[in-house]
Structure 1
Amino acid sequence: MRGTLFVVAAPSGAGKSSIVNACLARDSNIRLSISFTSRAARPGERHAEHYHFVSAEQFQQMVAKGDFFEHALVHGDWKGTAKQSVEPQLAAGHDVLLEIDWQGALQVRKQVPEAVSVFILPPSREALEERMRKRAQDSEETIQRRLSAAREEMSHYDEFDYVIVNEHFADAVSEMCAIFVASRLRRPMQQVRHGALIAALLAGDGSGS
């Protein structure tokens, strides 16, 4: 049975990566697709764990070869999901999670209409700015640019199936995991997963009843 593709997007600083990582630790049925990016690694980030870090030239070569499932220019850097990171896992029956931006999510939904999409919002603008500043990795100019971009990103929340407000982290994680479980319990999925059971339950017993 083919796996489900989950798409999770959020403005920078909304806590998306933290929520996703907590859900991955809790739900062993989810596989995270590692995106490619042309930006430099931040302190603490490791190649092939957080991102596949490549040069802008390498990224464009991959685009030209049609290697990407989706790609977009985000905050001046290219990000994308390679097809080989997604399709084989879905075909093997694994659920795959894409942690991407709204532009990438739009491309994915056009190719995979049945994908389940989730958008994460911060509890306030003040909380969003505070989280950005806590990173202590970006300049003031970069922070202001990201805050401006966040408003544009958040305006696309209504294009997604589910919306989570990350006010209390534990609650947001539980809500995300609940979406994963509920998606697996949809009737079409259960009809395939438990086809033999359903057929046996509905079979006649020969008594004419």
Structure 2
Amino acid sequence: MTPTRLVVLAGPTAVGKGTVAAAVRERHPDVWISVSATTRAPRPGEIDGVHYHFVDDATFDRLVADDELLEWAVVHQRARYGTPRGPVDVSLAAGRPSMLEIDLQGARQVRRTMPDAVFVFLKPPSWDELVRRLVGRGTEDDEERARRLDTARDELAAESEFDVTIVNHEVHAAADELVALMMLGPERHDA
């Protein structure tokens, strides 16, 4: 059975996409994970080239104009995020299990250009837990938190657009479930 090579992981803000991706990176180094470009400033502890490629607006504009992004979007009415196309192509050409950790808008764009990918929705155990995680990060002020929670309500409503849902009860379990899914054959996504 041929492993699924590209998985697209998306879900609402503060669901733990980045944390689950970090756990996949740590526990399954054979899986390649794309590093997105963004125009937002780094959060405490984030490293350029590891968590994101932090770029200015002019650099992002050039990436868009030169068609160097597989997908891109304005997120939370502020910063732009996008997936550099080149590294994805190289990883897939090498036959390496690969994952994109992106937002809902980006997942929709990738579905149009790479419909054979497996689209995984990462869901919180409950709305209250999502709110607790967002508040617990302590990286957004009250206005930004409210904006992100409004966006999260819309994002949660998009779950049916995805092939598979994983509930993020516990980070390592979610990461292992995601990698197990990558290793199933394409005909097994509904398992």
With structure 1 as the length reference, what TM-score do the two structures score? 0.83
Question: Paired residue for 1:109?
Answer: 111
Tell me: CA distance 1:36–1:19, structure 2 relative to 1, closer, same or farther (3 Å).
Answer: same
> Which protein has greater RCO, CA pairs closer than 8 Å, 6+ apart?
2
Corresponding residue for residue 74 of structure 2: 73
- 1:1-50 deviation per Cα after TM superposition (whole angstroms, max 9, x unaligned): 99711100011111111112212222233101110001111111110000
Q: In the TM superposition, what are the counterparts of 1:80-95 in structure 2 within 5 Å?
A: 80-95=82-97
1:43 is aligned to 44
Alpha carbons 2:37, 2:55 under 8 Å: kept: yes
Partner of 1:23: 24
Counterpart Cα distance in 1 of 2:106 and 2:87:
15
CA contact (8 A) 1:37 1:79 kept: yes
Larger Rg: 1
1: CA distance, partners of 2:185 / 2:31 = 12
Q: Is the 8 A contact 2:25 2:31 kept in 1?
A: yes
Q: Which amino acid aligns with 1:81?
A: T
C-alpha change, 1:88 and 1:3, in structure 2 (3 Å) is: farther
* Corresponding letter in the other structure for 1:68: L
Runs of 5+ in structure 1 lacking a partner? 188-209
Report the Cα offset of residue 171 of structure 1. Answer: 3.0
How many Å separate the matches in 1 of 2:121 and 2:3?
Answer: 24
- Matched to 1:65, the amino acid is D
SS in 2 for 1:117: strand
Aligned residue type for 1:84: G
CA shift for structure 1 position 133: 0.9
> Which residue number in structure 2 is paired with residue 196 of structure 1?
none
8 Å contact kept, 2:3–2:184: no
Q: How far apart in 2 are the matches of 1:41 and 1:111?
A: 29
How many pairs are equivalent? Answer: 186
**Residue range with higher mean Cα deviation, 174-183 or 138-147:** 174-183
Corresponding residue of 1:135: 137
For 1:16 and 1:25, the matched residues in 2 are separated by 14
1:149 to partner: Cα distance: 0.5
Structure 1 residue 139, shift from structure 2 partner: 0.4
Residues 95 and 169 (structure 1), Cα distance of their counterparts in 2 relative to 1, 3 Å cut: closer
How far residue 72 of structure 1 moved from its aligned partner, in angstroms, is 0.8
Q: Using structure 2 for the length normalisation, give the TM-score.
A: 0.90
Secondary structure in 2 matching 1:133: helix
Distance 2:170 2:34 in 1: 26
**Which digits, 9 at most, give the CA deviation of each residue in 1:28-83, with x for residues without a partner?**
33101110001111111110000000012211121011111111111121100111
Q: Is the 1:3–1:91 contact (alpha carbons within 8 Å) kept by the matching residues of 2?
A: no
